[in-house]
Structure 1
Amino acid sequence: MKNKIYFLLLCCCFISYKIQAQDRLEVFFDFNKYDINPAAKEKLDRWLSENKNIEVTKIYGYCDWKGTNGYNDTLSLKRVSQIYNYMISNQVTVAPGYETKGFGEDFTQSKVQSENRKVLVIYEPKKPKPELVVPKTKYQTLTEQVKTAKAGDLIKLENINFFNNSDAVVPKSKPVLAELLCIMEDNPKLKIEIQGHICCQTQGDVNDISTKRAKAVHTYLIRNKIKSDRLSFKGYGVTRPMHPIPEKNSQEEDDNRRVEILIVSN
């Protein structure tokens, strides 16, 4: 018997908690009207400003007893529709599976008729959405890429750019050359082939710019005391594009216009 009483008390507490967890908003209407009057609009706007993180679960409409049952049922639904549309237009979240109902005059009426002409909105705090975890691709520096590379691997030298139709490296790309130099100094067994590629030229690499750019990187390393037997260079022109030529956009052009290093031994 005691267990049954305890169970009933527990159920009552749970039901009470559920009711308290859901808040209520009452919006009142003029007699025989479903338009939102100025007082109701002011109340709604104040409620909207104070409740940014909620979702509506139920919208119920009511009428006073004057008029036929059918008329009042329709009027109560029109009031529900007005409130629903107002909330949607103000970006209020409505919960999936929300409930709407027009009670008409079929409820326990207040003796004060103006209190019966209303819409009741039930709402609660938004439920946190499950976080979508997207695996992040870890960016690898050139040093990290070379460290794990094996013979035959190709590594693009990111952010190395040249002046237009030239083998002169733009100043902001010099840190890339410096990093490559450090890698060669720190890995005395590393041997590479420097490969140049160009974009955009449907007639081929007429001025052999790809070879000249690969040689420019080669020359930089030689001048900084990297032994020549660890280095070679070659220009491939437009024969190995990442995207078909002519390219569709500037991103494809950037991808095709590149310098890579081939790991010969590591």
Structure 2
Amino acid sequence: MKFFILFFVLFFGIIHAQMIQSIYFEHDSYKLNRESEKKLDSLAQLKGNLKFRIFGNCDSIGNGNYNKILSENRANTVSKYLQTRIKSNITLENVIGLGEEKQINDNSSEELRRKNRRVDIFIDRVLMTGEKISGETRLSFVDMNVLDMKIQNTYSLPNVNFIGGRHVWLPTGNETIVKLLKILRDHPTLEVELQGHICCDYDNFDGKDLDLNTFNLSYTRANAIKEFLQMQGIDSSRIRVSGQGHLDPVAYPEETEADRTSNRRVEIVLLKK
């Protein structure tokens, strides 16, 4: 138990604006297992002035009305458990059941359905009036010598930003992506992970991709770059893709269009030289 508490306190000690934790459920159930209880116990120990917002979700098995009620029961179960454990520094808000409306996976396998059977807990740090947070400034992947790069470090892809709600990057990113392609061609042993980000949507795990009508916009942004690199001859096995949602903004709160654009981005992690 002490390990779980220590892990979450250390991990969430770096909360800049918002983080997320998910609690998973068995099929057709809203009962917490012991692992979930341990995770919630750890969240209740977090320090600082925080707000928790709780959203229940379901897979697509069953009819819409039944799934709506099931997702509400899951959200309420998590809320009631936390209410008995949180201190005065944490406020519970927005306990909502979304049914099957905001699935992040396509339910094509049991593993993907399991990931849809969840409650998302958004953890917001309450900012002081006028407070603005800037994310970490990262070195540029395309402007560094590969020999100087470190495995598992995250690097920026300068000017690779996206149209709002879409996985289409702005023309200002073309030069950077061409440089990225050249680096991967010149160093055929490199393996990387592309990590997509969004702005603005703070009530969902991820944003809605208006072109695909899915709620995995940060993933589809990163995947769009992977698909381009594949078409140019880069082996897909060298490129992983992940969606980070809105959980690591470079500017928060997003007060201007420039703030929003800067958060609609893809970054890159070096996995192997």
Using structure 1 for the length normalisation, give the TM-score: 0.44
Bigger proportion of residues as helix: 1
Give the TM-score, by structure 2 length. Answer: 0.43
Rg larger in structure: 1
